[in-house]
Amino acid sequence: MKKIIFTLLCFGFFLTASANNEPKVGDLLTVKAKTAQGFNHIDFPKANILKKRGVVTNYKSVDNQTVIIDKVSTKNNGTTTVILKKEDGSKFFGYLTKVKANYKDALDSGELVMIKN
């Protein structure tokens, strides 16, 4: 009997822990630049595109920026894609209002960090 109760408690704990990892519209995240070469899981433009537009080609302008989840979409294969916009309403690199990101991969790699509410 003790084993059954312990198993149910563990199952309930894991179920609630995984439910808290789901993104919701309005969640706040912080963008963290891991390397100067760019981002793998956030769809920021590549350096050559930024050079053509006359923007400085480093990603320091988006490092430590607070972003809001604007839209969440989940595909059939289970990947969750989120649309991000800046909290202050300004544009990324002076011309992008929103960017896409693979939610789980960006969190796992450290490109996005959840802000505790």
pLDDT in tens, 31-56: 988 766 678 899 988 878 888 887 77
Record the tokens describing residue 98, joined without a space: 């929103």
pLDDT band for 10, please (50, 70, 90 cuts).
Answer: low
Amino acid at 106: A
pTM of the model: 0.73
CB atoms within 10 A of CB 7: 10
Tokens of 106: 């960006």
C-alpha separations of 74 from 33, 81, 102, 111 in Å: 25, 6, 10, 20
The domain segmentation of the chain, as residue ranges, is 23-114
First to last CA, the chain: 38
C-alpha to C-alpha distance for 107 and 66, rounded to whole angstroms: 14
Residue type, 42: I
For the record, the structure tokens of 66 come out as 């607070």
pLDDT in tens, 49-97: 888 887 776 778 888 889 999 999 998 888 899 999 999 989 888 888 9
Separation of alpha carbons 25 and 40, rounded Å: 22
Sequence letter at residue 32: K
Q: Which residue has the tokens 């595909």?
A: 75
Dig out the tokens for 45 from the structure: 């433009």
